[in-house]
């Protein structure tokens, strides 16, 4: 949620930063108008309520001094009744304006951090690092991961379409075991790095999706259960972000670092025609998520360590990758700054996203009303939230099937995974 006070007091600078995203359709003026109307009604209502309370005292005093039949008593009561009638009009009007204001405010994305590079789209993202050139495969005839996976009998897309529809996969034998091994390996690594593992519900309510920023903007990207206010989880970020919704945490308890394995479900409504084959863009996929609740003054440092925790998985698997900083025009709805990790995919001769590590500032904590209080100090503050994939499991599997593919059609397993699977190759 945007900071309405910031918008109200600095509308020009707010709009300037917002426009760096390249979306010039935000209803900022409408929000400012509704905000002014709501505050005017609030002032009027407060003044009327104060006068109503005063009249109540005056009536008692007048009755005591002049009797209940004194004309002044009736005059005060008439004024009190007029105030009550006015308040009965103002209160519902204020509720309507508040609802309109909140609905519009929820559509406004987060403001980019000053450290986020300015750019129009993904072509202007900034590469900041490459790792693992020595692990680039020398095999010149690498097959796409779906093809080698089907040859090995560990992936099946055709039967998945029979069970569900396209963009689902069934993992068989060693494929299922590899997925399970990757999940356990990632959780072991993240818990060793200090994250507390949780296993959240895989169905979430609308309030949780709204708090994380998925609703209302991304409703079409999510699967909803029609008979309940429940949605299939699009990412564990949604569930963990609401773990402390409407709570006030003690400052001494921060930072809180969580990780979770969950399946994730997305319609990929705007992605038809892209990655129609393979494990890159499915309606159902597995992911190990990292999430942090931190103090505002530490969020930049926490963002860097979040990135390092995601990188550590790729480095342990000896998978070549690069790190890019997303520009303002490619930034996610809730983020102020994002690093993307892109793993090398030999069959495509390009790097593909495998993790996105974002600092969301206080945007999600405002939407979810998560605050913290320092001992001995009055008031509370909104904390900062950060999230990152550690990693996307299917994409990691795809990268292994391609980068470790051998000329004889087998696939070596990264040494770090071999103890989990009890074998050296597929």
As a whole number, the mean pLDDT across the chain is: 94
Q: Give the pLDDT score at 411.
A: 97
Query: What pLDDT sits at residue 234?
Result: 97
Q: Which two tokens stand for residue 419?
A: 């103890």
Provide mean pLDDT across the span 173-186: 97
Q: How far is it, in rounded angstroms, from Cα 268 to Cα 347?
A: 23
Instruction: List pLDDT tens digits, range 351-373.
Output: 999 999 999 999 999 999 999 99
User: pLDDT of 323-354, one tens digit each?
Assistant: 999 999 999 999 999 999 999 999 999 999 99
Residue 272 confidence (pLDDT)? 61
pLDDT in tens, 73-100: 778 888 888 888 888 888 889 999 999 9
pLDDT of residue 387: 98
Mean pLDDT, residues 11-35: 93
Among the residue ranges 14-18, 24-28, 133-137, 262-266, the one predicted with the least confidence is: 24-28
Given a cut of 90, whether residue 188 has pLDDT beyond it is yes
Q: If 0-12 CB within 10 Å is exposed, 13-18 middle and 19+ buried, where does residue 89 land? A: exposed
**30 secondary structure, DSSP code:** H
* pLDDT value at residue 39: 93
pLDDT of residue 189: 98
Q: Could you tell me where in the chain the CATH 3.30.930.10 domains are found?
A: 122-421
Share of the chain above pLDDT 70, in %: 98
Class of 122-421 in CATH: alpha beta
Q: What is the mean pLDDT of residues 36-40?
A: 93
Grade residue 64 by pLDDT with cuts at 50, 70 and 90: confident
Would you place residue 381 in the very low, low, confident or very high pLDDT band (cuts 50, 70, 90)? very high
CATH code 1.10.287.40 region(s) in the chain: 4-105
Backbone angles phi, psi at 98, to 5 degrees: -60, -40
pLDDT of res. 68: 67
Residues assigned a catalytic role: 266, 281, 353, 356, 395
CA-nearest of 132, 334, 349 to 234 is 334
Q: Between 301 and 139, whose confidence is greater? A: 301
Q: Per-residue pLDDT tens for 236-285?
A: 999 999 999 999 999 999 999 999 999 999 998 666 667 778 999 999 99
Is 66 a residue whose pLDDT tops 80? no
> Average pLDDT of 133-152?
93
pLDDT for 269: 64
Model confidence band, residue 142 (pLDDT cutoffs 50, 70, 90): very high
pLDDT of 63 > 80? The answer is no
- Tell me what pLDDT residue 311 has: 98
- Return the percentage of the chain with pLDDT > 90, whole number: 82
* Amino acid 117: pLDDT: 97
As a CATH number, domain 4-105 is: 1.10.287.40
- What contacts 247, CB < 8 A, 6 or more positions away? 370, 371
Cα dihedral 344, 182, 174, 161, rounded to 10, equals -70
As a whole number, mean pLDDT of residues 12-36 equals 93
pLDDT for 376 beyond 90: no
- Name which residue leads in pLDDT, 127 or 53: 127
Task: Determine how many CB atoms are found less than 10 A away from the CB of residue 5.
Answer: 9
Q: How far apart are the C-alpha atoms of 403 and 380, rounded to whole Å?
A: 50
Q: Are strands 196-197 and 256-265 parallel, antiparallel or unpaired?
A: parallel
């Amino acid at each position: 949620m945007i900071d309405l006070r910031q918008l109200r007091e600095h509308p020009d600078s707010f709009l300037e930063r917002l426009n760096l995203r390249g979306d010039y359709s935000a209803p900022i003026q409408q929000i400012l108008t509704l905000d002014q109307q709501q505050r005017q009604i609030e002032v009027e209502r407060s003044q009327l309520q104060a006068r109503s309370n005063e009249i109540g005292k005056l009536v008692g005093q007048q009755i005591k001094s002049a009797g209940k039949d004194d004309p002044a008593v009736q005059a005060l009561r008439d004024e009190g009744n007029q105030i009550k009638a006015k308040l009965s009009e103002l209160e519902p009007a204020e509720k309507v304006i508040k609802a309109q204001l909140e609905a519009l405010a929820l559509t406004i994305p987060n403001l980019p951090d000053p450290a986020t590079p300015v750019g129009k789209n993904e072509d202007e993202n900034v590469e900041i690092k490459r790792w693992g050139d020595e692990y680039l495969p020398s095999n010149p005839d690498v097959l796409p991961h779906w093809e080698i996976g089907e040859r090995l009998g560990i992936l099946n897309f055709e039967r998945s379409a029979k069970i569900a529809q396209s963009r689902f996969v069934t993992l068989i034998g060693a494929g299922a075991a590899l997925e399970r091994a990757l999940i356990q390996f990632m959780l072991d690594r993240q818990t060793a790095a200090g994250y507390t593992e949780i296993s959240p519900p895989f169905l979430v309510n609308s309030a949780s999706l709204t708090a994380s920023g998925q609703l209302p903007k991304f409703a079409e990207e999510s699967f909803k259960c029609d008979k309940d206010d429940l949605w299939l989880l699009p990412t564990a970020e949604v569930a963990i972000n609401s773990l402390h919704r409407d709570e006030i945490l003690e400052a001494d308890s921060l930072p809180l670092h969580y990780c979770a394995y969950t399946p994730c479900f997305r319609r990929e409504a705007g992605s038809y025609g892209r990655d129609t084959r393979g494990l890159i863009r499915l309606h159902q996929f597995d992911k190990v998520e990292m999430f942090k609740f931190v103090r505002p003054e530490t969020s930049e440092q926490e963002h860097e360590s979040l990135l390092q925790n995601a990188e550590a998985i790729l480095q342990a698997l000896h998978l070549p990758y690069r790190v890019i900083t997303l520009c303002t025009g490619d930034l996610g709805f809730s983020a102020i700054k994002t690093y993307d990790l892109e793993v090398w995919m030999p069959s495509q001769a390009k790097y593909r996203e495998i993790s996105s590590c974002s600092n969301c500032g206080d945007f999600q904590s405002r939407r979810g009303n998560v605050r913290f209080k320092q001992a001995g100090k009055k008031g509370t503050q909104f904390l900062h939230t950060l999230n990152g994939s550690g990693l996307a499991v299917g994409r990691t599997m795809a990268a292994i099937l391609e980068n470790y593919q051998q000329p004889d059609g087998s696939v070596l397993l990264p040494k770090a995974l071999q103890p989990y699977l009890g074998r050296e190759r597929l």
